[in-house]
Amino acid sequence: MNKKYYGKLIFELSRPGRQGYYLSKNGCDDALDSLPANLLRENAPELPEVDEPSVVRHYNNMSDNNFGVDTGFYPLGSCTMKYNPKINEEMASLPAFSILHPFQPSATVQGALEAYYELQKMLSEIGGMAEFTLNPYAGAHGELTGLMVIRAYHESRGDLKRTKVIVPDSAHGTNPASAAVAGLKVVEVKSLADGTVDVEALRALLDDTVAAVMMTNPNTVGIFEHNIPEIAEIVHECGALLYYDGANLNPLLGVARPGDMGFDVMHINLHKTFSTPHGGGGPGAGPVGVRAGLEKFLPNPRVVRRQPGGGDALFELDFGTEKGPNALGRISAWLGNFAVELKALAYILSLGADGLKMAGPLATLNANYVKECLRDLYLLPIDRVCKHEFVFDGLADKSTGVTTLNVAKRLLDYGFHAPTIYFPLLFHESLMIEPTETESKETLDEFIGVMREIAREAAEDPETVKAAPLETPIRKPDDTAAALNPVVTYAEL
């Protein structure tokens, strides 16, 4: 991590009249005269006026402030920060994809539609579902779409009293949020001490007012919900549908399929499991799959394949006319984040079936390796073989007063991104670690060494750990003040 902080804004570099390029007179200057006055702007746009070298240096210096999977280890639990192979970017940048216009006639974009169609099929195979829509823009958007599908299903049967969604207390915050946005009431079901859903508590909540039960499997503490066949059975018995939150699909890749476990609707976070970039490098994508019988409730457009008169296959956009009036219609402006979908397709094709089957087991191996190497110094509240991630409840030795926040900040000094902290809410000092399958043993050993060193510091020199970070360009930002009085525009600064 660099120690210097480049904190300028591009507007601060602006000088009146400065330009990167000087365009020659091209004879089009009077073109503006022919436009009606109400279409012309009165004032020039307030864009920064900067020369090219300053622009290039500005953005390079900005990116040097950044920390990402391309700069270092990023064990952010529940986020699956795996390395994003550059071939994905290369494929999505091919001009045959990147210069397309969404309104081009289908006949001129057959290759792009075929790629889209293939991904719909591959995700269906991977998830054990009948059909997938690639339209949703992100995981939470996928959840919302999935719940709208579930609502549409119940409404199509005239079953209008199903207004509740059951969500485990360990669920990601997006689950209750999506349910609320979909107009459904959230009911929480408790977890057992081992982190799995309490089947008896769930049974007591199930009745004819329940629309769906949302589950993440493996769950938020990285434990596989081994009772899932029984859960699927009792959920279906009461007439509700079982929703699979794909946030933690990574360890199951090529090993187990939500469709086979009895899930009816699922979403996949392509930006997690399928190695497309997260956050600032995003955007994300949250495709939604459904089991047979629910296809007609998926949103449109989708890509369909036809074979007219035995000739070449023809790929077309289906806007739902054939699927009947039940379809949700549009949930995104067009086909979703097409470039992200191409990156996921490139990832699947470059790993192949055999490679994909190794991703889950290796992610599981890496997580268990880190867990076992640290459990003597950090408190392990759930002592079981985990899947892709696990949760410590802070340092084992609580007498030093060093908190999870201190440990996380100290990790920054050593050049690592911090794990997820204070989530899940099941423990007071949650420290959630997800190494992913893309890290080498050397990187894991280095991280383990640093975590052990921090535990030693906490015992021998707790004040240093409490004062961390000491080495970062910005030390301790006041998050409370930032949340209370956010300054989000240049003018406010």
Partner 1 sequence: MSKTYYSPTHEYITVDGNVGYIGISDYAQHALGNVVYVDMPEEGDEIEAGEDFGAVESVKAASDLIAPVSGEVLEANEKLADNPRLINEDAMANWIIKVELSDLSQLDSLMDEEAYKAHCEAEK
Binding site for partner 1 (CB under 8 A): 173, 422-423, 425, 428, 479-480, 483-484
Q: How far apart, in whole angstroms, are the C-alpha atoms of residue 374 and residue 378? A: 6
Residue 304 Cβ vs partner 1, minimum distance, rounded to whole Å: 42
Q: How far apart, in whole angstroms, are the C-alpha atoms of residue 122 and residue 129? A: 10
Residue 252 Cβ vs partner 1, minimum distance, rounded to whole Å: 28
Residue 298 has which token pair? 């998926």
Q: Is the dihedral of CA 15, 16, 21, 22 positive or negative?
A: negative
What residue has token string 């290759």?
A: 111
* Closer CB to partner 1, 111 or 173, in the complex: 173
* Closer CB to partner 1, 234 or 396, in the complex: 396
- CA nearest 338: which of 149, 94, 87? 94
Give the Å distances, CA to CA, from 473 to 1, 4, 7, 39, 477.
Answer: 9, 5, 10, 46, 11
Q: Which helix (H) or strand (E) holds 431?
A: strand 430-433
* Closer CB to partner 1, 198 or 446, in the complex: 198
* Closer CB to partner 1, 49 or 188, in the complex: 188
Residue 450 Cβ vs partner 1, minimum distance, rounded to whole Å: 24
CB–CB of 315/302 below 8 Å? Answer: no
Q: What is the dihedral of CA 296, 297, 299, 305, to 10 degrees?
A: -20
Residues contacting residue 123 through CB under 8 Å, at least 6 positions apart:
129, 132, 134, 268, 287, 289
Determine if the peptide bond prior to 136 is cis (ω within 30°).
Answer: no
What residue has token string 């307030």?
A: 46
* CA-based end-to-end distance of the chain: 26
* Closer CB to partner 1, 186 or 373, in the complex: 186
Residue 461 has which token pair? 């020199």
Amino acid code (one letter) for 455: A
Residue 408 Cβ vs partner 1, minimum distance, rounded to whole Å: 12
Residue 23 Cβ vs partner 1, minimum distance, rounded to whole Å: 49
* Closer CB to partner 1, 18 or 428, in the complex: 428
Q: How far apart, in whole angstroms, are the C-alpha atoms of residue 359 and residue 354? A: 9
CB–CB of 225/217 below 8 Å? Answer: yes
* Closer CB to partner 1, 280 or 477, in the complex: 477
* Closer CB to partner 1, 180 or 358, in the complex: 180
Residue 241 Cβ vs partner 1, minimum distance, rounded to whole Å: 25
- CA nearest 343: which of 279, 282, 275, 283? 275
Residue 459 Cβ vs partner 1, minimum distance, rounded to whole Å: 20
Residue 425 Cβ vs partner 1, minimum distance, rounded to whole Å: 6
Residue 479 Cβ vs partner 1, minimum distance, rounded to whole Å: 5
Q: How far apart, in whole angstroms, are the C-alpha atoms of residue 250 and residue 80? A: 8
* Closer CB to partner 1, 170 or 250, in the complex: 170
* Closer CB to partner 1, 152 or 380, in the complex: 380
Residue 167 Cβ vs partner 1, minimum distance, rounded to whole Å: 12
